[in-house]
Amino acid sequence: MRSKHLSEQQLVAASAGDAGTADEHAHLSACETCRARAGRLQALLAEVAAVAEAEADARFPSHRLEAQRSHILECIEQDGRPAQIIAFPAGSRAEVRTRRVTTRSRWVAAAAIAGLAIGLAVGRWSHRQPPVALSLPGTPPADSEIWAPGSDRPATARGSSEDEFLGQIEQASTGLLPELRAIHELTPHVEQVLAINADGR
């Protein structure tokens, strides 16, 4: 053999379409072992990509993309006025089932905490943390930076008020108020509830 086999890193680079050095090319064309290794890796990557695309396309068939497109354009036609982003159009029953979550015990706890929160802490949090976001020159900044209070906000799905409500509860229970933190700690977390259900039902 003229030179030692390609390292895994070189192989990955070659399989991912990187140009590689002249030596690597020469080795690859001369060495059957490395060609076979590269072929296997390329086949694997192609399989992973094909499967991922097929999976996403099965979830977003053409009629759904069309509905999504129409809705985006409708929102724009309304000149950016708040329009509710539609939940996924006419989803299958399976998806509806998947999506459904009960508000049972956690919501009871949440409501209790919220009640207290309103009593104890109105006005103590008026500021939401901006989301962790990538910034790039020319990239629209995070939500909170773009839309001043009272201005038109772009549509956000599934009720931003609910999210804000949850965010406020969360902030109240974790950060600001010891009274609420005590209650929060008494309330089982969802993983704990699932574990209890799995073990003890």
Partner 1 sequence: MPSASRRGGPVHAASPTAAAQTASRSHLSGDSALASEVKRHVLAGERDAAVERFAILLANQQRRAARIAFQYLRDVHDADEAVQDAFLRVFTHIARYREDLPFEVWFTRILINRCLDVRKTRARRLRWTLPIEAAAPAPEPPDGSPSIEARLVSGARVQAIAAAVETLPERQRAVFILRHFGGHSPADVGRVLGLTESTVRVHLFRAIHRLRALLEREGP
Q: Choose among partner 1, Zn ion, none what residue 181 binds, the Cβ cut-off being 5 to 8 Å by kind.
A: none
Are the C-beta atoms of 36 and 115 separated by less than 8 Å?
no
60 contributes a contact to partner 1 by CB under 8 A: yes
Number of residues located near Zn ion, criterion CB under 5 A: 4
Contacting residue, 5, 20, 35, 71, with partner 1 by CB under 8 A: 71
Q: Which of residues 124-183 bind Zn ion (CB under 5 A)?
A: none
Are the C-beta atoms of 46 and 76 separated by less than 8 Å?
no
d(CA 10, CA 151): 53
Contacting residue, 5, 106, 153, 181, with Zn ion by CB under 5 A: 5
Provide, rounded to whole angstroms, the least separation between the CB of residue 48 and Zn ion.
Answer: 24
Q: Which of residues 9-48 bind Zn ion (CB under 5 A)?
A: 31, 33-34
d(CA 41, CA 4): 19
Residue 125: CB atoms within 10 A of its CB come to: 16
Q: Choose among partner 1, Zn ion, none what residue 118 binds, the Cβ cut-off being 5 to 8 Å by kind.
A: none
139 contributes a contact to partner 1 by CB under 8 A: yes
**Residues 9-38: x where in contact with partner 1 by CB under 8 A, - otherwise, as a string:** x--xx-xxxx-----------------x--
Query: Between residues 10 and 168, which has the closer beta carbon with respect to Zn ion?
Result: 10
Residue 62: CB atoms within 10 A of its CB come to: 8
Contacting residue, 74, 115, 182, 195, with partner 1 by CB under 8 A: 74
Residue 90 per-residue DSSP state: T
Residue with tokens 């003890």: 200
d(CA 2, CA 33): 13
d(CA 112, CA 180): 10
What is the number of residues in the chain? 201
Q: Which residues bind Zn ion (CB under 5 A)?
A: 5, 31, 33-34
